[in-house]
Structure 1
Amino acid sequence: MLKTRFTEEFGVDHPIVQGGMMHVGRAELAAAVSDAGGLGIITALTQPSPEALGREIARCRTMTDKPFGVNLTLTLSINPPPYEELRQVIIDSGVPIVETAGSDPTVHVEHLKANGIKVIHKCTSVRHALKAQALGADAVSIDGFECAGHPGEDDIPGLVLIPAAADALSIPFIASGGFADGRGLAAALALGADGINMGTRFMCTQESPIHQNIKERIVAASELDTQLIFRQLRNTMRVSRNTVSEEVVEILNKGGRFKDVKELVAGTRGRKVYEDGDAELGTWTVGMVQGLINDIPPAGEVVRRTVHEAETRLLGLTRETFVDRAEAV
C-alpha cells in the first residue's frame, strides 16, 4: 500500500483525490471513491441551496463510512453564493475535509480550521501555494497547465510545476492535471507530490452523474480535443473542443468581450450538456488527459487499479532494474 504524508495526515488509504467538479461531484461518485480508499469530494456549488448541500452530505454518509470532503469554490461575482451558510452547513455536518478553490480563502480557512476541519486549497502556481500554506492550509492541490477548467495564466505543465512545488512547500501537496492511471501516480510521487487529483478520469466512471453520451465522447476523444477559451480576457479555461467553444474563441479573437459570449458560456448550458448528453449544447470542462481514458469502469476500480499499477511501476524502477539494464547494454 502506498503511504504518503497525505494519506497519513488526512486519514485515507490511497493517495488519490477525486476532483471537486461542478455538476459532477455528487454523493454517489464521492462515496464510491472514498469507499475504495481514496478521497471523494462533493461539490458545494452543484447543490441549489445550503439546505440541499446538507442533505447531499447526509446522503453520502449512508453510502460510505470512509472520510469524504466538500469542495467550496470561491467566485468573484455580483451575486455570490451564500458562502457563510454553505460553510456553516459543512461545519454542522461534521465534514472532516474541505477543498477550497478560486479566490482568497482566508476567512474560510480560519473558520474551518477553528472547527477541526482540514483544508486543501487548489492552486495553479507555486506562489499561490506558498500563500495558501502561509494562511494555514493543511495541504494544497497544484494544477498543471494540462488540467480541465482554469489552469491559471502561467502555462506551466505538471512536469515542471510538481517538482517546483516540492522544492518550495513544507505541507503535503496533491498533483492535479493530466492524471488518469498508475503511471501518472507513480510519476507524481517520484516528482515529489504526496498524491494525485483526478477529475476527468472520474467523469468517465459508472457512478459519475453525467450522461452516458458525454462519457463516451470523452473516451473517443484524444489529447488534442480540448480548447482554451477566455485567453484574451486573462481568465483562461480549458473546455471540450466543440462548435460553441470555437465560436467563443472566434468572437474574442475579433476583439469581443465577455458580454459578447456570455450567453454561449452560460453555466445552465454546460449543465444541460451533462444532463441531456448533447456535447454541442454549451461549453463544458475536460482535461487533455481524456486522450488516456479508454473505458467507463466503476470509480472504485479506477482507484484500486491506479494504486496497483503505480506500485508495480515503482517496484519496477528499482536500482536492480537499472543495474540489470546497464549490464544488458
Structure 2
Amino acid sequence: MFKTRFTETFGIEHPIVQGGMQWVGRAELVAAVANAGALGCITALTQPTPEDLVKEIERCRELTDKPFGVNLTILPSITPPPYAEYAQAIVEGGVKIVETAGNNPTEFLKIFKPAGVKVIHKATTVRHALKAESIGVDAVSVDGLDCAGHPGEDDVTNLVLIPAAADKMSIPIIASGGIGDARGLVAALALGADAVNMGTRFMCTVESPIHDNIKQHIVQADERQTQHIFRSFRNTARVARNAISEQVVEIEKNGGQFEDVKDLVSGARGKTVYEKGDPDAGIWTAGLVQGLIHDVPTCQELVERMITEAEAIITERLSGLLATPVAG
C-alpha cells in the first residue's frame, strides 16, 4: 500500500488515476477503476448533453460505491458546448472530484468549490501548473511529452518536468504520460509525484468500452507507432500512427492549413475507430507507453499488479542496490 498526499487528499486507496478520454471515459470503465481502488473519471463531453452526463453519473453509481470523478475539458470553440451546464450537472450529480483540462478553470472553480468539489487541473508546463495552484485547484496533473493527446509545445519529458514542478509546488502532483506499469509508478514517485495518471494503459483493459481490435492493435504496437499532428498549428497532439495521421502530417509539411485537414481529423471519425475497430478509420490518441502494453487485463488485475510489483521494486530491487555499511 502507498500513502501519498494524493491518496490522503482525495480519499483514494491507490495513487493511480484514469483521466478523462473522449469516447472512452464511460461508466463501465470508471466504475471498474474505482472498484480496483484507483480514481476513475467519466469524460463529461463524451455525453451529448448535460442531462446525459447526469444519467451517466447515476449509471456509474449503480456499478460502484467508491469515489470517482468527472473530466471537464474546456476549450475555445466557435460553437462551444454549454460548459457551465455540464459543470452544474457534475455538482447536482454529487460528484466530489473533477479533472479540468484546457483553458484556465477559474470561472468553474466558482461552481465547484462552494459545492465541496476537489479539482485536479491538467498542465503541460511548470508555469501553468503554478498558475493552477495559485487559483486554488487541489492538485495538478502534469503531462509530459510522452503523453497521448496534447503535450503542449515545449517538448519536456516527465524525467525533467515532474521534479521541476515538485521543486516549486506545494499541492499534490500527478505524473501523466509514459506510465503503464509498476516501474513507471515507482519512477514517478521518486521524481516527486504523488500519483500517476494512465490513459492508453486503461484503454487496454477488459472493461474499456472500445472495440477489441483497437485494444489488440495497441498490444501489438511499439513505442514508435505514434505521431505528432498539428505541430504547425501550435496545437500539437500525439496520436496513433496510421494512414490518416500520415496524411495529416504530409499536408502540414506542404504548408496546409487546418481547413485542409479538418475532415480527416473529425471527432466523428475518431469515434468510429473505437466503435467499429478499424484503426485507420480516423484519428485516435495513443501514447508512447503502448510499447509497454502487452496484455488486456481487468482493471482490478492491472491495479493490483502495479501495486504489488511497485512494492517489490522498492523493497527488493532498490533496497538491494544500497551498499552495506562497512563497520568502523
TM-score normalized by structure 2? 0.98
Contact 2:269 2:283 in 1 (8 A): yes
Q: Which runs of 5+ in 1 are unaligned?
A: none
Q: Please give the alpha-carbon distance, in whole angstroms, between the structure 2 residues aligned to 1:286 and 1:320.
A: 35
Q: Please give the alpha-carbon distance, in whole angstroms, between the structure 1 residues aligned to 2:211 and 2:318.
A: 43
Which whole-Å deviations, capped at 9, do the CAs of 1:219-262 have from their partners, x for residues lacking one?
Answer: 00000000000001100000000110000000011010000000
Q: Please give the alpha-carbon distance, in whole angstroms, between the structure 2 residues aligned to 1:213 and 1:318.
A: 38
Q: Which residue of the partner structure matches residue 191 of structure 2?
A: 191
CA-CA distance at 1:19 after TM superposition: 1.9
CA-CA distance at 1:319 after TM superposition: 4.9
Q: Which runs of 5+ in 2 are unaligned?
A: none
Q: Which residue of the partner structure matches residue 278 of structure 1?
A: 278
Q: Please give the alpha-carbon distance, in whole angstroms, between the structure 2 residues aligned to 1:302 and 1:180.
A: 9
Q: Which residue of the partner structure matches residue 241 of structure 2?
A: 241
CA-CA distance at 1:320 after TM superposition: 5.4
What are the residue-to-residue correspondences of 1:1-329 with 2, within 5 Å? 1-317=1-317, 319=319, 321-324=321-324
Runs ≥4 residues deviating over 6 A: none
CA-CA distance at 1:114 after TM superposition: 1.4
CA-CA distance at 1:263 after TM superposition: 0.2
CA-CA distance at 1:159 after TM superposition: 0.4
CA shift in 2, pair 1:255/1:298, >3 Å: same
The count of aligned residue pairs is 326
CA-CA distance at 1:321 after TM superposition: 3.7
Which whole-Å deviations, capped at 9, do the CAs of 1:2-52 have from their partners, x for residues lacking one?
Answer: 010000010000000002100000001000011111001100000011111
Which whole-Å deviations, capped at 9, do the CAs of 1:269-298 have from their partners, x for residues lacking one?
Answer: 000000000000111000000000000010
Q: Please give the alpha-carbon distance, in whole angstroms, between the structure 1 residues aligned to 2:319 and 2:34.
A: 34
CA-CA distance at 1:318 after TM superposition: 5.0
CA-CA distance at 1:308 after TM superposition: 1.0
Amino acid at match of 1:204: C
Which whole-Å deviations, capped at 9, do the CAs of 1:32-76 have from their partners, x for residues lacking one?
Answer: 011111001100000011111000000000111110000000011
Q: Please give the alpha-carbon distance, in whole angstroms, between the structure 2 residues aligned to 1:104 and 1:321.
A: 44
Instruction: Give secondary structure in 2 for the equivalent of 1:146.
Output: coil
Q: Please give the alpha-carbon distance, in whole angstroms, between the structure 1 residues aligned to 2:220 and 2:291.
A: 8
CA-CA distance at 1:315 after TM superposition: 1.3
RMSD: 1.1
Instruction: Give secondary structure in 1 for the equivalent of 2:22.
Output: coil
Which whole-Å deviations, capped at 9, do the CAs of 1:138-192 have from their partners, x for residues lacking one?
Answer: 0000001000000000000010001111101110010000000111000000111
CA-CA distance at 1:316 after TM superposition: 2.3
Instruction: Give secondary structure in 1 for the equivalent of 2:72.
Output: strand
Contact 2:12 2:38 in 1 (8 A): yes
CA-CA distance at 1:312 after TM superposition: 1.0
CA shift in 2, pair 1:320/1:224, >3 Å: closer
